[in-house]
Amino acid sequence: MSCEPSGTPPADEERLTMAKNPHTTPNSGGPNDKDFKTTENSKSEHLEAYRSDAKGHDLRTNQGLRISDNHNSLKAGERGPTLMEDFIFREKLNHFDNERIPERIVHARGAAAHGYFQPYDNAAQFSKAGVFQDPKKKTPVFVRFSTVQGARGSNDTVRDVRGFATKFYTDEGNWDLVGNDMPVFFIQDAIKFPDFVHAVKPEPHNEIPQGQSAHDTFWDFVSLMPESTHMVLWTMSDRAFPRHYRNMEGFGVHTFRLIDKQGKARFVKFHWKPLAGTCSLIWDEAQKLWGRDPDFNRRNMWDDIENGDFLEYEFGIQVVEEEDEHSFNFDILDPTKIIPEEQVPVIPIGKMVLNRNPDNYFAETEQVAFNPANIVPGIDFSNDPLLQGRLFSYLDTQMLRLGGPNFHEIPINQPVCPFHNNQRDSMHRQTINKGQASYEPNSIDGGWPSETPAAPENGGFESYQERVDAHKVRARSESFGDHYSQATLFWNSQTEVEKEHIIAAYTFELSKVQRPWIRERVIKEILPNIDLDLARRVGENHGVDVPNTPPAPPEQLGKSTMQESPALSLMSRLPGNIKGRKVAILVADGVDAGQVETLKKKLEGEGAQGMVIAPSMAPVKGAGGKSVSPDEMLNGLPSVAVDAVIVPGGQQSVDMLSKAGPGRYYLQEAYKHLKVIAAVGEGQGLLAAADVPTQEEGILLGGKVDDIFKPFCEALGKHRVWSRDAKANDMPA
């Protein structure tokens, strides 16, 4: 049977003209060093040479041969064996067989976007880095968000840390800020990283569980490594499943250095503050989303960027003068510690906007290679032993993952400024280096490429000249000995609702641990050092008695100088508006189409998205005969995927939704997940049918859209109806 593609191919002449398009090769020389300046679009302009658009082109082999039949392999007779000679078939299969590259060892699942960074006018005083000098200049960035534990195909909404890695394509080379959405880490010394990762990853004998820390090896390791306690507590909080990447904070974690034009160095912590506020899912919702929409976070980012609703973050720094290095009750080089914002405020120094989706997931998001060692003049490292280890690890891992040392030539990894050196050859070399001399100094090629002096006006990189005078030892500084005081600070800074969620998280996670001695070790030997009440509550849920005093030695308990740091609660940065929120408008035949239209418009006016949800995708006949087109179906966009629900009027519509299980369930589930619910006119009947209380905070009823809209926006600005939490926990799933 012949199977030809449908559609009429273009006439021969037309096809030939289109195919004459000369194929582009990357400009290996790049722009002239001296004249070079990035623009906001320079990364996309730079990638232009590599973009391949097959529209209007003939199908050819990789050697350029036009293919006449892409449906049948070459056989000895129509029903005979395939011939070895079929080089077209073999080339195609061979390329396909080698399509996959090793996924990242950690942070395998990710989603990314392009955008720009623009400094405010106060940034240059802290660092001579070009990226901070001109408030009018936009530097292109590429940001990849990720989960840590799961494989590339795992779920988005698992309980995990999120990676927040930013590549700034600056005029002076790439600066990678490879951070996370939590400000501390599990271990203090990089030599423990393979142990930690082996413990958290799916267990080696059966590769279970995927994307989870709720298993024996993780809890075994962390309960034997008290330094992990602070970070584990963060991961037991709702921060571990953000509502949207736009609602996450980002942190450089380590202390770095900034160097100003005079050569003065200051210690610094880097922060990303989401302009849309901090919002998380709740655990039951996150779990349901594993099945309902495993791509929840990446889909929301993709859709929002396509809709022109961009992700925005403010970049901020905490600055510590060198002479104040030892003025804290912890060591600023210890990556299990934060510098509380109330102690050293975060100074806003710029803004980042993510406004363009990648063209190709593999070429950009998968092949991007971040490395904390990629810095530019004006930024430098500290001696944090975790950071020092990372400076080795990232380059090393790219060799295997991206197949050799030329991965910097992959378009997404190339700096946008020119780069020339005497490195040569190896796998997949793209650059065709001209000239005879690949060494320096040389007199054959005029001495090029040549060094750049380090003085600020010249731009050559120079490491900060820190004095180091010490014995070579394998040891941990005593100043890293406090493992609990900041965990206690985090716990004390949570609201009651957040504390309840943390207790539930420890209870759940430990319920998945098979070995009783590991559960007991966590409950008896770790949790009481954070807070006795936390330990008792988790202990009660596991039938384990808890000591009356913290069992850790005093040096591990540390001494906190602060009782609370309000900045550590997600509630301190609620959005306050409804921008970017998804609101379900539940409809069926007979709905008041006028109200639906008004609601959609008003929501759009506030920057939110009103999604019309109906029992099926068939057009809905409105009460007055006007039809309404559904955006999604009740079980296509379930309540777990939206932020709030509104039920408009129309008796027939409400009767239909009340009769149908999915209609009632939509409201019940939204109620359980603390969502704001509003009903207009007859819409109130659906609340009664679903047994959803009507006289409560966060339930808004009215005769007209105008009656409910303002209070609806105010309630949704707080993200959820927190006062409902205790009651909702008792509801059936």
Q: Which of 113, 141, 165, 503 binds ligand HDE (CB under 6 A)?
A: 165
| 3-class state of residue 127 by DSSP | coil
What span, in angstroms and rounded, lies between the C-alpha atoms of 552 and 525? Answer: 7
Query: Is residue 105 near ligand HDE by the rule CB under 6 A?
Result: yes
- Return the bridge partners of 257, or none: 267, 380
What span, in angstroms and rounded, lies between the C-alpha atoms of 418 and 437? Answer: 19
Q: Which of 43, 46, 47, 110 binds ligand HDE (CB under 6 A)?
A: 110
Q: Which of 253, 503, 535, 552 binds ligand HDE (CB under 6 A)?
A: 253
- DSSP characters over 515-566: -HHHHHIIIIIIHHHH-HHHHHHHHHHHT----SS--S-HHHH---S-S--G
Of the pair 112, 282, the CB lying nearest ligand HDE is at 112
Please state at what angle helix 216-224 crosses helix 193-200, rounded to 10 degrees: 150
For residue 250, the minimal CB distance to ligand HDE (Å) is 9
Query: Is residue 232 near ligand HDE by the rule CB under 6 A?
Result: no
Q: Which of 283, 290, 361, 394 binds ligand HDE (CB under 6 A)?
A: 394
φ and ψ of 142, to 5 deg:
-130, 125
Of the pair 490, 671, the CB lying nearest ligand HDE is at 490
Q: Which of 163, 411, 615, 663 binds ligand HDE (CB under 6 A)?
A: 163
Of the pair 110, 528, the CB lying nearest ligand HDE is at 110
Q: Which of 179, 378, 580, 685 binds ligand HDE (CB under 6 A)?
A: 179
- DSSP characters over 574-598: --SS-TT-EEEEE--TT--HHHHHH
Query: Is residue 403 near ligand HDE by the rule CB under 6 A?
Result: no
155, 180, 297, 300: which is the annotated catalytic residue?
A: 180
Identify residues 372-391 at the interface with ligand HDE (CB under 6 A).
Answer: 386, 389-390
Stretch that binds ligand HDE, among 104-112, 323-331, 376-384, 714-722 (CB under 6 A): 104-112
Per-residue binder mask for ligand HDE (CB under 6 A), 115-154, x = binder: -----------------------------x-x--------
Q: Which of 43, 46, 106, 339 binds ligand HDE (CB under 6 A)?
A: 106
Instruction: Give residues with Cβ within 8 angstroms of 122, minimum separation 6.
Output: 347, 349
Number of residues that bind ligand HDE (CB under 6 A): 24
What span, in angstroms and rounded, lies between the C-alpha atoms of 451 and 458? Answer: 10
- Residue 364 DSSP one-character state: I
Stretch that binds ligand HDE, among 51-59, 205-213, 344-352, 393-401 (CB under 6 A): 393-401
For residue 207, the minimal CB distance to ligand HDE (Å) is 19
Of the pair 222, 518, the CB lying nearest ligand HDE is at 222
46, 107, 230, 408: which is the annotated catalytic residue?
A: 107
What span, in angstroms and rounded, lies between the C-alpha atoms of 119 and 45? Answer: 22
Of the pair 347, 395, the CB lying nearest ligand HDE is at 395
CB 493 within 8 A of CB 347: no
- The residue among 685, 683, 687, 654 whose CA lies nearest residue 668 is 687
Q: Which of 73, 133, 210, 397 binds ligand HDE (CB under 6 A)?
A: 397
What span, in angstroms and rounded, lies between the C-alpha atoms of 466 and 264? Answer: 11
Tell me whether residue 107 is one of the annotated catalytic residues.
yes
Tokens (6 digits) for 375: 């810095």
Tell me whether residue 72 is one of the annotated catalytic residues.
no
For residue 442, the minimal CB distance to ligand HDE (Å) is 35
Identify residues 491-510 at the interface with ligand HDE (CB under 6 A).
Answer: none
- Counting Cβ atoms within 10 Å, is residue 241 exposed (0-12), middle (13-18) or buried (19+)? buried
CB 178 within 8 A of CB 371: yes
Stretch that binds ligand HDE, among 28-36, 173-181, 280-288, 640-648 (CB under 6 A): 173-181
What span, in angstroms and rounded, lies between the C-alpha atoms of 537 and 503? Answer: 7
CB 299 within 8 A of CB 285: no
- Return the bridge partners of 174, or none: 169
Catalytic residues: 107, 180
Q: Where do contacts with ligand HDE occur on this chain (CB under 6 A)? A: 104-107, 110, 144, 146, 163, 165, 178-180, 185, 190, 193, 253, 369-370, 386, 389-390, 393-394, 397
